[in-house]
Homo-oligomer: A and B are copies of this chain.
């Protein structure tokens, strides 16, 4: 028997706003950050989880993770890991914490960090990467991870079981395919709003050379500029090469439709986050108006209940799960099942800090044990900050190669935790020394 003995949180921030990496129509100057959690056990091992944020407020998220995790101090680790569905429900249904959401925002993401740290520990104890641990579970074990409350008008436990059982026969063959070929990636690196036209053109060429099957451009700040940038990207990528656009929630319904129609002549692979992630009704209206251009969204959708409605109303064809926005692996399993039920493609949001490392496991699990296909599916890739992770992603010819190291991919290097600690780590002391007021 082992116990949770130590719960440690870290506020880690990277001064990315200096280079305008990650700049888009809604996020002008992000400092990519992680509110990071380590759960240590009496057996001497540990699990790691985090929430990705973009700077200010990372201290709020860190406080929330510490508060949620404190409830588990001293608990029997085997018991928690043996029933991850029950553990999820215990955390999510804690009525006092639930009041702060319910099931959304800071408190819900905090639960996600705790849940993901437990999955990291569980995978390490099993000696398997998370994708393999999940895709070797039985259909019954998988549905036991999911809380079907608020889902049954769209997906029942029995329907979920059916989906998983239908995918069971091909698991072994698909795992072999995955190990041989990897999972397709696409890249957003060329398209940040803050980049010059020259940098955009150069990065488009590099994306093609690297073998990516799609690129994505940030749009939504200025239509003329978007038309010019789409023209550059289309010219370099050539006709037929998929170019998606991402408005980062910038528009209302009418504005979205007008803007997208103006960019449609450049052949748009999908339109991402055209409006508020809470607005499933608006997504449905936009999707109807711009068909057959697909709508993609999800990175900011708060929970499975919003994804359910988005699918019920046909508001999006492309479902962009995020590893740290919802309450961890369990809730993402629910969303994968919902997407499979409605025949939507799952193309995860990634980038940020460690989102590629974490979310690849879910797409690989989806391919092997849920949807059973990679058709039209790909994982976002942004080439930032991977060097801070113990098991950084590996790509070959634009595809993610399945990680083989045990765990969930969520562990950050000790040196990074120390150097990028906010506000007292050496990187931030140096930053602050350059800023007249000593504050950001």
Contact = CB atoms under 8 A, between A and B. Distances in A.
B107 A104 contact: no
A337 to B, nearest CB: 16
Tell me whether chain A's interface is mostly helix, strand or loop, or mixed.
Answer: loop
Contacts of A21: none
Contacts of A109: 100
Interface string A308-321: 11001100000000
Contacts of A149: 252
A207 B60 CA distance: 42
Given A56-B94, A95-B27, A282-B150, A106 B106 contact: yes
A102 B153 contact: no
Contact of A309 (B28, B254, B279): B279
B302 A254 contact: no
This chain: how many copies in the complex?
A: 2
Contacts of A63: 59-60, 63
A63 B9 CA distance: 15
Contact of A104 (B97, B105, B305, B308): B105
Contact of A64 (B95, B98, B99, B106): B106
27 contacts: A27-B95, A27-B99, A29-B95, A30-B95, A54-B95, A54-B99, A55-B99, A56-B96, A57-B97, A57-B100, A59-B63, A60-B110, A101-B104, A102-B300, A104-B278, A105-B302, A106-B106, A150-B275, A151-B252, A153-B253, A153-B254, A153-B285, A276-B305, A278-B305, A280-B281, A281-B308, A281-B312
